[in-house]
């Protein structure tokens, strides 16, 4: 029987790349996002790769939407094996002393509260279903969850630290339930938005990237997707409560 995975923020970027990777393995996939048109397009694209994919429109900062999303997964496929809590936003923030609370609330809700709400209902569902095989939850954190950052801001950095803490706590609480919980922490990642911002002479672009990543490359969305696939596999059965930096050695050199 094919495994079922839920991917939040699954209609573009890292989430869509992960949906593609699982589809190539013949998985059942639900991608969730706030916008209907990109979601339908993403599901069509993922379906063409071998798996079975449905889109569900949801705002995962709202508990009612999360509950409806999990119910949809179970109605479509009967169980939930894996979840990749990937949804989040990045906004330019002012310095902490000038930070307005509305921005703080928005970033914390999108990047931390959403992970809490999703894990709350994913874990409850995984506990209640027959234990055919271990279930796995992966949370998308960030290397700024390990340190401060001049490129992000107080809310985003605090949220990503929180995601790593939630990951560890959930892992400790659910080891005896055949549920593993881990996180991935990407460094600067090559998406459509970052690619558009890297126009310029090749040497200058390479120097800019190398200052962040010792390999001189941005992390690809496929790099992250393949790590999520690995963490859901039996080969990762002893990896639990861990955060995996995907940064080419950036944290190691700091």
Active site residues: 156
Counts for the chain of helices (H) and strands (E), in that order: 10, 9
Cα separation of 134 and 226, whole Å?
A: 19
Q: How many Å apart are CA 217 and CA 61, to the nearest integer? A: 33
42 contacts 20 by C-beta, under 8 angstroms? no
SS3 227: helix
Q: Which of 223, 233, 235, 240 is nearest to 183 (CA)?
A: 240
Q: Which two tokens stand for residue 81?
A: 């094996």
**Are 60 and 117 spatial neighbours (Cβ–Cβ below 8 Å)?**
yes
């Amino acid at each position: 029987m094919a495994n079922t995975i839920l991917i939040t923020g699954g209609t573009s970027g890292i989430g869509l790349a992960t949906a593609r990777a699982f589809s190539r393995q013949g998985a059942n996939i639900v991608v969730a996002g706030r916008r209907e048109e990109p979601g339908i397009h993403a599901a069509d694209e993922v379906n063409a790769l071998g798996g079975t994919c449905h889109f569900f429109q949801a705002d995962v900062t709202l508990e009612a939407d999360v509950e409806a999303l999990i119910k949809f997964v179970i109605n479509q496929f009967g169980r939930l094996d894996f979840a990749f809590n990937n949804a989040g936003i990045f906004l330019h923030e002012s310095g902490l002393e000038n930070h307005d609370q509305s921005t703080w609330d928005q970033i914390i809700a999108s990047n931390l509260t959403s992970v809490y709400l999703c894990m709350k209902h994913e874990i409850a569902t995984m506990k209640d279903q027959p234990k055919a095989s271990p279930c796995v939850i992966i949370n998308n954190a960030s290397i700024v969850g390990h340190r401060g950052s001049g490129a992000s801001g107080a809310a985003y950095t605090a949220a990503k630290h929180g995601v790593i803490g939630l990951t560890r706590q959930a892992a400790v609480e659910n080891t005896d339930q055949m549920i593993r919980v881990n996180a991935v922490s990407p460094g600067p990642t090559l998406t459509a938005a970052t690619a558009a911002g890297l126009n310029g002479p090749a040497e200058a672009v390479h120097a800019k990237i190398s200052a962040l990543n010792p390999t001189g490359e941005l992390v690809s969305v496929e790099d992250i997707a393949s790590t999520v696939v690995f963490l859901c596999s039996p080969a990762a059965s002893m990896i639990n409560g861990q955060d995996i930096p995907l940064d080419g050695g950036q944290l190691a050199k700091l």
